[in-house]
Amino acid sequence: MRFSTAILTLLSTTSLITATGPTKTQLSNRSKKFSLGIVLFPGFEPLDVIGPFEILQSVSAYYPLSISFIASQTGPITSRAPPHVMVPGQPPVDLSHLIAMDLYATHTFTTAPPLDILLIPGGMGNMVLVENNDTSIETFINSRYSELEYLLSVCTGSVPLARSGVLKRRRATTNKSFWGWVTQFGEKVKWVPSARWTQDGKIWTSSGVAAGMDMTYAFLSKVYGRQGVLDNVMNAIEYAPHTDPHWDPFSVVWEVPGADQQGSLESCVKPVGW
Amino acid sequence: MRFSTAILTLLSTTSLITATGPTKTQLSNRSKKFSLGIVLFPGFEPLDVIGPFEILQSVSAYYPLSISFIASQTGPITSRAPPHVMVPGQPPVDLSHLIAMDLYATHTFTTAPPLDILLIPGGMGNMVLVENNDTSIETFINSRYSELEYLLSVCTGSVPLARSGVLKRRRATTNKSFWGWVTQFGEKVKWVPSARWTQDGKIWTSSGVAAGMDMTYAFLSKVYGRQGVLDNVMNAIEYAPHTDPHWDPFSVVWEVPGADQQGSLESCVKPVGW
């Protein structure tokens, strides 16, 4: 079946069987051109960025979006973190033997356009920024926070959010293998030990790496409504998302203090809308 | 718990409880420095590349790997496909409104080093290459095929594999929303309508986009063995892979002729090794 025909068939079928359609706001959002920014830094985690980006890019074929990849400088930004002290008192960890990729930053913190949605990924690079006392991301978050409609983080990307102060008295999570390191940051942050993602007001934070995709699906379901484009896109990229934010077996795997030991380690998924 | 301590704990625990350890070949592979190549072209699908790359990058902290991003030219390669005819007889489709990213190619088809593993991603760009009669990827595959230990494709990346001739009398699959278009290519290809991924000899092909990660986990389980590093890495990136290659609900969703209608649309996953 031709791709275009398949899309139209599913679009019409889905709207017929859905009991609740998109809200007025969601319909309005579908023609609003959200300005999306994704921050990059040396040692960003590739899938933290590209998991969400894949879904957003696919959606942008139907709903207007614009993108800025924002870093301290434009041009190629490497996914390899520079040498840094990972364990206090130990010599710096050299990750030069890791394979790495370069993603192109299109804007700097200074030249980035007005933004509606800002996403901060995680990665080993977060440790380096902290170690170097580099607060450029925190400063950028604070300068843009009031204008943002949404602020998202994936994995240890919640660290700059915490250090910026925007997480004060707000719920947030992070990847679970680095829980101890991450949760030392920020004042009065309500760190949630078991959560695939959290939402508190306009701030969404996800657990580690792959969880960014599940958070993105939940986020876009809220912004646009699932019916029609979003669910079709998830099925076109053949990703069956985890839709329960409480499913967080990795908080158990990585022995996070206060993790929900009663929850099931298992999650059953299928194509959305089916 | 500190990351390093957590890794050591899980490494020792896992080797204690695993009934079957790594084979001699797998142990040998763990210190063999595989030379990995990933082809890029304008309009590559980001997650086709970065899903597998995230896992490979994480593994490369422990097992030596080298990477080349290979394209017709070095420098930034865009994920946005140039205008192309998507439906014969229709005007060219202009995808300039899609958001896009640039990934850096490090080598050309000419300068790429000797390779052990080659991965071809999919994306709308495959259609453009076919339309432009661009067979550079097919030529590259044929020039390297005999030296390769493994050849992998994700999504419509199986199209250049088919067109190169290496899929002759071999099983292969592709993403399911483009099934009709893809399966016209290649001679005597045993296209498998319902498969999350296939393996035939040294050739591995996966279904669409996100399926690349499931294939990569299965592939690396074969190459290295799951125990120790690989399973830990999957849990560090918090991805619970689908481990059954026969689970392919998207072949049903996208109405692929011959799709397995009896199989469950649902897949239950949990952290590997748990």
Tens digit of each residue's pLDDT (9 = 90 or more) over B251-260? 999 999 999 9
Judge: B274–A253 Cβ closer than 8 Å, yes or no: yes
pLDDT at B12 over 50: no
**Residue burial B216-234, b: 16+ Cβ < 10 Å; e: rest:** bbbbbbbbbbbbbbbbbbb
Which of chain B's residues have a Cβ under 8 Å away from the Cβ of A66?
A: 99
> What's the confidence (pLDDT) of residue A17?
45
pLDDT at B32 over 70: yes
> What's the confidence (pLDDT) of residue A7?
57
Which of chain B's residues have a Cβ under 8 Å away from the Cβ of A270?
A: 249, 265-267
CA gap B215, B229 in Å, rounded: 17
Judge: A6–B255 Cβ closer than 8 Å, yes or no: yes
B250 closest CB neighbour out of A47, A103, A235: A235
Nearest CA-CA distance, residue A148 and chain B, Å: 19
Q: Which tokens is A152 given?
A: 């998202």
Q: Which residues of chain A have pLDDT under 70?
A: 1-19
In chain A, which residue's Cα lies nearest the Cα of B196? Answer: A238
- The arithmetic mean of pLDDT across residues B248-271, rounded, is 97
Q: What is the pLDDT confidence band of residue B13, given thresholds at 50, 70 and 90?
A: very low
Which of chain B's residues have a Cβ under 8 Å away from the Cβ of A103?
A: 101-104
In chain B, which residue's Cα lies nearest the Cα of A232? Answer: B253
Judge: B47–A100 Cβ closer than 8 Å, yes or no: no
**The model scores a pTM over 0.90:** yes
CA gap B23, A20 in Å, rounded: 54
How many beta-carbon pairs under 8 angstroms link A with B? 207
Could you report the predicted ipTM of this complex, rounded to two decimals? 0.92
> What's the confidence (pLDDT) of residue B118?
98
Segments in chain A forming alpha helices (H): 3-17, 24-29, 46-59, 125-131, 136-144, 158-164, 179-182, 211-224, 229-236, 249-253
Q: Is A197 on the interface with B (CB under 8 A)?
A: no
> What's the confidence (pLDDT) of residue B1?
44
pLDDT at B4 over 90: no
Number of Cβ within 10 Å of residue A62's Cβ equals 18
Number of Cβ within 10 Å of residue B170's Cβ equals 20
Counting residues of chain B whose pLDDT is more than 90, the rounded percentage is 87
Q: Is A249 on the interface with B (CB under 8 A)?
A: yes
Judge: B98–A177 Cβ closer than 8 Å, yes or no: no
pLDDT at B178 over 80: yes
pLDDT at B17 over 80: no
User: What distances in angstroms separate CA A49 from CA A111, A130, B51, B222, one per listed residue?
Assistant: 20, 20, 11, 28
Judge: B76–A104 Cβ closer than 8 Å, yes or no: yes
* Mean model confidence pLDDT for chain B: 93
A26 Cβ neighbours under 8 A, 6+ residues apart:
A223, A224, A225
Query: pLDDT tens for residues B185-233?
Result: 999 999 999 999 999 999 999 999 999 999 999 999 999 999 989 999 9
Judge: A238–B176 Cβ closer than 8 Å, yes or no: yes
Fold of the B22-84+97-253 domain:
Rossmann fold (3.40.50)
Q: Is B88 on the interface with A (CB under 8 A)?
A: no
> What's the confidence (pLDDT) of residue A10?
54
Yes or no: say if A208 and B239 are a contact pair by the CB < 8 Å rule. Answer: no
Which of B66, B124, B237 to mutate against chain A (most A CBs within 10 Å)? Answer: B237
Q: Is A209 on the interface with B (CB under 8 A)?
A: yes
Q: Is B258 on the interface with A (CB under 8 A)?
A: no
Q: Is B94 on the interface with A (CB under 8 A)?
A: no
For chain B, the structural domain boundaries read 22-84+97-253
Yes or no: say if B47 and B54 are a contact pair by the CB < 8 Å rule. Answer: no
- Write down the residue that tokens 């995230």 correspond to: B54
Q: Is B86 on the interface with A (CB under 8 A)?
A: yes
Which of chain B's residues have a Cβ under 8 Å away from the Cβ of A45?
A: 54, 237
CA gap B93, B181 in Å, rounded: 16
Judge: A270–B266 Cβ closer than 8 Å, yes or no: yes
User: What distances in angstroms separate CA B87 from CA A1, A82, B93, B106, one per listed residue?
Assistant: 12, 47, 9, 33
Judge: B235–A255 Cβ closer than 8 Å, yes or no: no
Query: pLDDT tens for residues B110-159?
Result: 999 999 999 999 999 999 999 999 999 999 999 999 999 999 999 999 99
Q: What are the percentages of helix, strand and coil residues in chain A, rounded to 5?
A: 35, 20, 50
Which of chain B's residues have a Cβ under 8 Å away from the Cβ of A86?
A: 3-4
